[in-house]
Structure 1
Amino acid sequence: MYQILTPQESATSTPGATSHIIGDSPDVLHQILDPGVNLSLWQRLPQTAITRELSILQASHLPDVRCPASLDSFDDDVSALLRQQGLDPLVFTNWRKDLRRLADLYFSLSDDRDVTLRLVTTDDDECRRFHVDRTNLRLLCTYRGPGTEWLTNDQVDRLAQATGAPNEDIIRFGIPSQFEPFWVGILKGDAFPDNASHGLVHRSPPIKGSGQTRVLFCLDC
């Protein structure tokens, strides 16, 4: 089942502004390639086995480690990143299987672009300001801790965002939406063909001092 969120018509809404498609099936992710869509969000349930594996991770274990990745090398790439940080890949068998599942979905949409794999554990604030990625497509899945915050198109003052204004000026009304743990989102950035100035506006949730640790998986192209 899909839910399509479109901007409400108002004097300040942007004609032709993009939409967000939300569903409980992985098929929803393929909708990101549709014209006028800048977020496809798969709302899925947490997986106990993965949660158990990731409970041992500390904020210092994966300090935004990254590498180029291909579908053929993906499993080895993930294992190599874990080993580089002194972690045994065999401890994370269920997590690695899930990462591969998401990679299969993502690479089917990446149109043979170069892909960067990122694994992140953090207890600090990352990107506090609402921004748009200078990428084509970004996959995000927060496995532990609070997820990515994002704004619907009619919430965003894009001129304020583009000119460096603070968050309180970027958000026209309301509060941000937020990914839940294990939800998978694919975001269009401003580099996607014919999508300039319409990328999804989002940020990392502020968590410094909260005692929480985020575990994040990201693919960029």
Structure 2
Amino acid sequence: MLRDSIAPLTSPTGSDLTPTDQQIVERLSTSGEHPTVLTDIYKQSINIAIWKRELSEDLQRSTNDFLAANPNFQKSLSVSPSEAFAALEYATDGSAPKALLQNIAELVDMFCCLFELDYAGLRLATLESAMCPRFHTDKVPCRLVTTYSGVATDWLEHDTVDRSKLGHGSNGLPDSESGLYRNEADVQRLTCGDVALLKGEKWIGNEGGGLVHRSPFVAPGENRLLLTLDFG
């Protein structure tokens, strides 16, 4: 069980740090091949933690079967760890393979355990285009993202971003021309299967330091299956 690998360290919406401790401008990324790396998100200097997960062949087949049967699926719901599997089975009208549902339910359980939540806000969607094509930050404490099929999320390291160019600061220019980042080599991309925790603007002490990210370009004729989890 993934839950056995994850344990909360402190509350993301409250902090025991002193004001001096919170004045940390360095924000870094961390990654590893074991789910315990996700607990690094509690470190004040970390704004993205990536579990470099490889999808099993069975899970890949299940994902492909689901996409074939549900090319335009989008569903958002609030789920508890104990009811996640049943809620997902109902939401997908029984069309989703059990291996996929079980994997998602395990991530819900892990997410709720890590942040001591009773419920998670779950969104599962098949996407044929970029949902959020501009770089941005999330107005949440933390969000889990994982791509089961297709291209995965783009993101920028904190020290490569000029945050004054986010949103209206771009003056209508594309992100690649506004000065938001220096060159295309600065753009990082998660790998399909990766499970990432993206620290947002509402994590205490992280105001102005939320991870800058965007949805990737999806080529014509391709699609992706994206799961996100938020505080429910």
TM over 0.5, yes or no?
Answer: yes
- Give the aligned partner of residue 162 of structure 2: 157
Gaps of 5+ in 2: 1-23
- Give the aligned partner of residue 148 of structure 2: 143
Q: How does 1:2-151 map to 2 (within 5 A)?
A: 16-56=25-65, 57-58=67-68, 61-83=71-93, 87-89=94-96, 92-112=97-117, 115-151=120-156
SS of equivalent residue, structure 1 residue 109: helix
Once the two structures are TM-superposed, the CA of residue 208 in structure 1 deviates from its matched residue by 4.7
Once the two structures are TM-superposed, the CA of residue 59 in structure 1 deviates from its matched residue by 9.2
Distance, in Å, in 2 between the alignment partners of 1:171 and 1:136 is 24
Select between 67-76 and 152-161 the one with higher mean Cα deviation: 67-76
* 8 Å CA contact retained: 2:81, 2:118: no
Distance, in Å, in 2 between the alignment partners of 1:59 and 1:213 is 13
- Give the aligned partner of residue 216 of structure 1: 226
- Give the aligned partner of residue 7 of structure 1: none
Amino acid of the residue matched to residue 32 of structure 2? G
Question: Are 1:177 and 2:204 matched, yes or no?
Answer: no
1:84-120 residue CA offsets vs partner (Å, 9 max, x unmatched) = xxx524xx11111211221222111223375211101
SS of equivalent residue, structure 1 residue 74: helix
1:184-221 residue CA offsets vs partner (Å, 9 max, x unmatched) = 00111101111111011001101152x21101111012
TM-score, normalisation: structure 1: 0.84
Change (3 A) 1:191 1:197: same
Once the two structures are TM-superposed, the CA of residue 163 in structure 1 deviates from its matched residue by 3.7
TM-score, normalisation: structure 2: 0.80
Once the two structures are TM-superposed, the CA of residue 175 in structure 1 deviates from its matched residue by 3.4
Change (3 A) 1:101 1:20: same
Question: Are 1:196 and 2:207 matched, yes or no?
Answer: yes
* 8 Å CA contact retained: 1:125, 1:208: no
SS of equivalent residue, structure 1 residue 170: coil
Amino acid of the residue matched to residue 76 of structure 1? A
Distance, in Å, in 2 between the alignment partners of 1:60 and 1:213 is 11
Amino acid of the residue matched to residue 39 of structure 1? I
Once the two structures are TM-superposed, the CA of residue 62 in structure 1 deviates from its matched residue by 4.8
Change (3 A) 1:113 1:194: farther
**Deviant stretches of 4+, over 4 Å:** none
Select between 111-120 and 127-136 the one with higher mean Cα deviation: 111-120
SS of equivalent residue, structure 2 residue 38: helix
1:28-72 residue CA offsets vs partner (Å, 9 max, x unmatched) = 011111112110001121211111112131496454310112222
* 8 Å CA contact retained: 1:40, 1:185: yes
Distance, in Å, in 2 between the alignment partners of 1:157 and 1:63 is 35
Once the two structures are TM-superposed, the CA of residue 26 in structure 1 deviates from its matched residue by 0.5
Question: Are 1:167 and 2:175 matched, yes or no?
Answer: yes
Change (3 A) 1:60 1:100: closer
The total of aligned residue pairs comes to: 202
Distance, in Å, in 2 between the alignment partners of 1:114 and 1:132 is 23
Distance, in Å, in 2 between the alignment partners of 1:18 and 1:162 is 21
* 8 Å CA contact retained: 1:62, 1:119: no
Supply the RMSD in Å over aligned alpha carbons. Answer: 2.0
Gaps of 5+ in 1: 1-14
